[in-house]
Chains A and B, each alone.
Chain A
Amino acid sequence: MPKERPEHQIKIMITQVSDSLYSQLIKTYGENLPSAEPRSLDEIRKQAFERFKRVGFPTVKHEDWKYTNVQPLVNQHYELDVEPSFAAIDLNNAGIPRLDAYRVVLVDGKYHAGLSDDVSDVPGLSIMPIDQAFERLCFAKYFAQFADKTDNPFVALNTAAFTSGLFIEVGKNTQLSKPVHIIHVSAARQPVFNQVRNLYVMSAFAEAEIVESFITDDAAERNLNNLVTEIMVREQAKLQHYYLQTATSQSSYLNHTEIYQEKHSLYNNYNCTFPGPAFVRNNINVRLGDSEVESHLYGITLTAGNQLVDNHTIVDHLKPHCESYEWYKNITQDTSTAVFNGKIFVRTDAQKTNAFQQNNNMLIGEKSAVYTKPQLEIFADDVKCSHGCTIGQFDNDALFYLQARGISEAQARILLVHAFAFDVTSRFANATVREYVEHLVEEGL
């Protein structure tokens, strides 16, 4: 029996494994973090960088990363900042049929004015590259106020090193008549590690829909995208937020979304991932910061090939009389892996909380895997909370029943997967997006 390795040796070993990118980052940014006016941001970056430097990249020994090994990803060589190649970007793969929206295109995180709609004449709507928002009052107020309080080292790295991303502000009482469609394109012709930072502010009584598509340009080299999005939903505001992950195997994503909600606000997230990107880790954290807040998190994940898709969510009930509703469905094919970790906190103050969580998994691939972990931590005593989780396989009796009526096996599978996803897809507020997602499910089978 080999003796257990002492703790410090393990740490040394781990650091060595991910040495290349880590030391590249330390060397590049150690004395030279991105800087711009106002200087107040410099201090935030410096502190964040120290945090990242201290912890480094997570390993599977960290509970939050147990099933999601980032070491192979961060053990490769990347360029840290490349000039975006704006030439010949093909947006066809991000097109949502019949969706009339304000289009915003980010190429490797950088705002592409030529491909984006000019929204300067839309009352109450401001969209701009994030570095143009540094002087804004609400940037100073909300930037790094939420995501950086978590212990995700990728957030710290992002805060320290981001140079691109998007700022959106929907003004007080503004109800957007069209959704904002953000298209994230990975297009760099050399291997790249992008740090993209977004801040969306929904002012009081504002209402909007934000649809975000992720695609890979055909000519792109492999790319690792570290995105952090902070979302402030102010009093009485409503935001419908869609993630449509349709990139290709060249792309991998670390996507951290941190939402803070004020009184009487509504935030709905619809998180959809399809066959394509090699590695996707989503962290979606919602803080219900005041009373009478409502939040819905829906997820539909269809994986194939050797994909890994990990959805970590936190629903944090801080105040009384709030309602949260979470339903995630995973369908795994081939040798792919899906991870779901849903944590609900009900803090001492959060009496009369109503929290629901459900995760259902359908394993189609005999060698596919699902790891699921629902977690409830309740500190208040007058609450209604429920969670449930199922793992199952394809229902062969149902398949035969459909075939016995003349429906082909392929079509029968589509019908059954649609049926499985129905609890989630039927909740989509936007029928056009729903139709598109159902189409992507069919294509992905």
Chain B
Amino acid sequence: MLSIKNLHASVDDKEILKGLNLEVKAGEVHAIMGPNGSGKSTLGNVLAGREAYEVTGGEVLLEGKDLLELSPEDRAREGVFLAFQYPVEIPGVSNINFLKTALNEIRAYKGLPPLEAREFLNRVKEKQKLVEFDAKLANRSLNEGFSGGEKKRNEIFQLAMLEPKLGILDETDSGLDIDALRIVARGVNQLRSQNNAFIVITHYQRLLEYIVPDFVHVLYKGRIVRSGTKELALELEEKGYDWIKDTVDAEGAA
């Protein structure tokens, strides 16, 4: 589904991603772990198309289509969804209106008619349940005055509504207590299917107890330096990131 080859990207002329390779197939969940500053969030933002992140080399294909050529909105319409680490508060834009606009623009892109009001509301109800998202919040201004946990749940609620091919969760676990974490994870697990894929970016192994990945990758200095199964995450948890840093830096020196 997603093929990243030798991806280089910089922010403010500072190179963050230095030749990243990743293959994600439909039905898979990939976890990206790594110490602070390794480029985890940069990867999410580059895939979503944030302007401040400049791609200086490499390619990214989504089902064979060159993702880097597309505007952020067209990437979303092609099926990329970034759950933000810091969801933006937008007073005056109602959650529901925003979702309706987004959903219908994605549908129009695919040549589908707008969703009927009733169909839309049914879908809202169904997906709200999935992430135990309070109906009152859905009718409020987008993220305005939401707690950290509510914002993250809203991200997953949006993901459920828009049904993307590729969901990228950027540190969705940060700032969540254990109950909220469970709810978010349960939502994601119910959305997993043979037709979609997830990239779960996280600093801690904790989230991966709830969203069990097929593959775990360790990002360090802008490159994937280790790949393995979920056991790699446990090993990391046990030995700490210094273990990775030391061995990788030693390999580099040699």
Contact = CB atoms under 8 A, between A and B. Distances in A.
Given A404-B48, A405-B98, A406-B106, A423 B76 contact: no
A51 interface: no
A443 interface: no
Contacts of B92: 418-423
Given A397-B88, A409-B71, A419-B90, A404 B49 contact: yes
B172 interface: no
Given A411-B101, A411-B105, A403 B93 contact: no
B73 A401 contact: no
A408 B90 contact: no
A402 B98 contact: yes
A65 interface: no
A397 B45 CA distance: 12
Interface in B58-86: 71-73, 75-77, 81-82, 84
B105 A406 contact: yes
Contact of B101 (A401, A415, A421): A415
Contacts of B16: none
B125 interface: no
A406 B88 contact: no
A422 B84 contact: no
Interface string A382-418: 0000000000000111101111111111011001101
Interface in B140-176: 141, 158, 162
Contacts of B73: 403-404, 406-409, 412
A297 to B, nearest CB: 20
Interface residues of B, number: 30
Contact of B82 (A396, A398, A404, A418): A404
Interface string A409-442: 1011001101111110000000000000000000
B109 interface: yes
A96 B75 CA distance: 38
Contact of B90 (A396, A398, A409, A423): A398
B180 interface: no
B93 A416 contact: yes
A405 to B, nearest CB: 4
A402 B73 CA distance: 8
A403 B76 contact: yes
B231 interface: no
Contacts of A418: 92-93
A400 B91 contact: no
Nearest to B78: A406
A420 B92 CA distance: 7
Interface in B82-126: 82, 84, 87-88, 90-93, 97-98, 101-103, 105-106, 109
Contact of A405 (B51, B71, B76, B91): B76
B72 A400 contact: yes
Interface in A246-263: none
Contacts of A408: 73, 105
A382 B1 CA distance: 69
B50 interface: yes
Given A406-B73, A419-B93, A401 B109 contact: no
B109 A406 contact: yes
Interface in A83-119: none
A429 to B, nearest CB: 19
A423 B51 CA distance: 30
Given A400-B72, A411-B105, A405 B158 contact: yes
Contact of A401 (B87, B91, B97, B105): B87
B50 A400 contact: yes
Nearest to B86: A397
Which of B92, B102, B106 neighbours the largest number of chain A CB atoms within 10 Å of its CB? B92
Among A407, A415, A418, A420, the one with the most B-chain Cβ atoms within 10 Å of its Cβ is A407
Nearest to A405: B102
B71 A406 contact: no
Given A406-B73, A406-B103, 14 more contacts: A400-B48, A402-B90, A404-B50, A404-B72, A404-B76, A405-B98, A405-B102, A406-B105, A406-B162, A407-B105, A416-B90, A416-B93, A419-B92, A419-B93
Interface of B: 48-51, 71-73, 75-77, 81-82, 84, 87-88, 90-93, 97-98, 101-103, 105-106, 109, 141, 158, 162
Interface of A: 395-398, 400-409, 411-412, 415-416, 418-423
Pairs of residues from A and B, 7 with the lowest C-beta to C-beta distance, nearest first: A419-B92, A422-B92, A406-B76, A403-B72, A405-B102, A406-B106, A401-B88
23 contacts: A397-B88, A398-B88, A400-B48, A401-B87, A404-B50, A404-B73, A404-B75, A404-B76, A405-B158, A406-B73, A407-B73, A408-B73, A408-B105, A409-B73, A412-B73, A415-B90, A415-B93, A415-B97, A415-B98, A416-B90, A416-B93, A418-B93, A422-B92
